[in-house]
Every structure is written in C-alpha cells, then in structure tokens.
Amino acid sequence: MPETLGMYLFIASEIMLFGSFFTAYFFIRIVNGVPWPSPPYHLPVFVAAVNTFILMTSSATMHWATTSIKRGNVWGMRAGLLLTFLMGLSFLIGQLYEYMRAGFNTSDGAFPTIFFCLTGLHSCHVFIGLAILAIMTIRAFRGHFSAESHHGVEIGGIYWHFVDVMWIVVFTTVYVL
Amino acid sequence: MRNPLRSEAEAYRFLIVIVVCAAAIIAASFINEWLGVAVAVVVFVGLFWWLKQEPVPGAADPPKPVASGTPPGTHRVLVVAPPGTDSVNVPDGAEVLVVVPALSSTSEALTGAVDDRRHDAEATAAALESRLPGARVEVGADDPALAVEDALRVFGADEVLVAGDGGMLAAIRERVALPVSRA
C-alpha cells in the first residue's frame, strides 16, 4: 500500500478533475438543454469507436506485459509495453485526426467547448501515460525489471487502466448517448 | 470497501467490468431512453455493492496487540482515567502516567465537534494532576484503546490500570499485551 499511495493520491485528484469537467458537461447538456451534438455539427463516432478499440486492446497488452514479468518472461513484458506504447500513440494520432476533421472549434458554442475540454483533458492523460510508458519501456529494455522486482510496471499499468476507464466513460457519455 | 485499482490485475478487471457496464447502458439507451437511465442506476448501485462486498485483504485480521517494556529496576504504570474521574489509586514508588481520553459520541467524532469533550478531559487532567504529585497527566485520543496505544509508544509501562467501566477495560485488554486491571 505505501508504495502505491502516491499513485492513488494522483488518481484521486484526477477523478476530481474529471468530475468537474463532467459536471460542466452534464450542466450544459441536461440543465441547459443544449442539443447534443448541436446542429449542424456531427460527432465523429466511427473514429472514436476505432480509437476505443485501440485503447482497450492497449490495456490487454499492458496486462500481458505485467503478467509476463510476474512469470519472469522479460521479452513478453518488453513486447507488451512496446505494443501498448504504439497503440497509445495511435490513439493520440487518431484523436488529432478527429479534431482536424471535426468541423467545429471551441469558439462555436458551449457544445464544442465542452467536447474539446473533455476529450482534450483525456488526451492529456494519454500523453502523460505515454511518457510513463516510454520510461517503462526504456527501463524494460535496459533490464531493470524482473519477476521479483517490477513495481514500475505495476504502477504504470494501474495508471494506464485508469486512463482507459476514463475513456470508456467519456466515449459513452460524449459520443454514444 | 475495496480499492478497484489495488493492483494492475485488479485495475484491468475493473476496466473489463466498466466496459460491460457501459455496453449495457448503451444497449438499453438504444431501446428506450428511460430504460437506459434505469440500467445506469442499476449499474451504479451494482458497482457500489460489488466494491463494498469485495473483501479487503488484511482488513478482517485482528489488530496486533501493542507490547511494551520498561528498563530493569523501574516500575511504570499507565493509568486510564475517563473524564469525571475524581481520584485513582496508584502503586507506591511507581512512575505513573495518567491518560484522560477525550471521550466523545459517534456523531461528535464524525463531525469533529470534540472541543467540549476535550475541555472536559483537560479539566479532569488538571484536577488529577493536583491530586497525584509526581505523576504525569495527559489528555489522549477519543478512543481509550487508541489513547493507551499512543501513550505506550512514549511511555513503556509494566501494567495498565483502568478507572473506566467494564467495556473500556475489555477494549484495552484486546489491544494491549500487558496486564490490564481495574484501578
């Protein structure tokens, strides 16, 4: 517990941050009754769905990496971390592609503003997760982790899954419902 | 309540559960908007219940009794005196520390409205200090067992004397690996 306390406190603060953004989203959409998405705009649901699939798969590879190192399979961990990093990077590139083709901007009203704020906040977290993953991957290739000592992989994995959980909530509320 | 992000494996399991829950809400919403709301409520209640039911590792284990010791040739006595105690009998020639726990009700403890209880404990401590020359008297935590634990960390004792009721005596006996008797 003490060794993961820092990550728990960080995640707790992140949940509160996301909570404030979701409050703004629900206020705009439900209390103010702003149509979602506001005409004439459309949300790029297909790109977001592909991104969701990529992110979910990256969680599976992250889990594979952790399971591998627990069994002493160093190459399994390296492959898992590398794949997770690449899929996280693909997600970010997909998100940028989505922004470029969205057809609206933050100055176009409350709907685009909260859309970019929520998805952008999540993208920032993916970026931080990628930075953590990059460090983990470099350390993995330098032989810093073993079956007995792999705390760095475990902590990074918890953060990555948290980011994915938040994306499921963002995708469900912003894109689908 | 169990932390769903306790380890990487549990975080991954939590993610799978969230994906399934989101899929259920989405499917229900496509059928009917209010059905989606109903499923969302059920999902949130179900998630809360699941996390509440999940056993927390080590939470059911009894707390380790606190042991204590004193240097050879000394006899130290820790006395627990709840607020309102007029006097306590202590063994002659012993070093004595009297702890007055600032007992408070559950609602007072939860709301932090313990100032009055602390004043009561301080008044009792002041009165006992004047009646027990040579003894140290301190105000302790609102839980008598916790007050004893705190005191034993700075005052190694050979025995604990309790001037409170049977419940207090039993609670302290459970937490302390020392002879505990009524004062």
Residues of chain B with pLDDT > 90: what percent? 33
Q: What is the ipTM of this complex?
A: 0.89
- For residue B59, what pLDDT is reported? 67
Which positions in chain B touch A177 (Cβ < 8 Å)? 25-26, 29, 36
Q: Which residues in chain A are closer than 8 Å to B14, comparing Cβ atoms?
A: 161, 165
Residue A57 pLDDT > 80, yes or no? Answer: yes
Interface mutation target, options B1, B2, B5, B10, chain A, most CBs of A under 10 Å: B5
Residue of A nearest to B34 (CA): A177
A9 touches chain B (CB under 8 A): no
Cα angle, residue B168 at apex, residues B163 and B173 outer, rounded to 5° = 100
CA nearest A58 in B: which residue?
Answer: B12
State residue B166's pLDDT score: 85
Q: Give the mean pLDDT of A101-127.
A: 88
Q: Are the CB atoms for A165 and B5 separated by under 8 Å?
A: no
pLDDT digit string, tens, across residues A148-161:
888 889 999 999 99
Q: Which residues of B touch A62 (CB under 8 A)?
A: 8, 12
Least Cα separation, residue B62 to chain A (angstroms): 18
Residue B19 in contact with partner chain A when CB distance is under 8 A: yes
Q: How far apart are CA B132 and CA B138, in angstroms?
A: 13
A36 pLDDT above the threshold of 80: no
DSSP B120: H
In the predicted structure, residue B5 carries a pLDDT above the cut 90: no
Task: Please name the member of B8, B14, B29 whose beta carbon is closest to the beta carbon of A165.
Answer: B14
Residue A3: pLDDT band with limits 50, 70, 90: low
Q: Please check the confidence at residue B65 and state whether its pLDDT lies above 90.
A: no
Q: Which residues make beta-bridge pairs with B80?
A: B99, B162
State the average pLDDT over residues A60-83: 94
A92 touches chain B (CB under 8 A): no
Cα–Cα distance measured from residue A111 to residue A95, given in angstroms and rounded to the nearest whole number: 18
In chain B, the residue whose alpha carbon lies closest to the alpha carbon of A9 is B5
Answer whether A162 sits within 8 Å of B36, measured CB to CB: no
| Helix or strand (DSSP H, E) at B16 | helix B8-31
* Residues near A2 by beta carbon (within 8 Å), at least 6 away in sequence: none
Chain A residues with CB-CB distance to B56 below 8 A: none
Residue B97: C-alpha distances to residues B34, B77, B86, B125, B163 (Å):
65, 6, 16, 11, 13
pLDDT tens-digit map of B10-58: 899 999 999 999 999 999 998 988 898 999 999 999 999 988 887 776 6
Average pLDDT over residues B75-101: 88
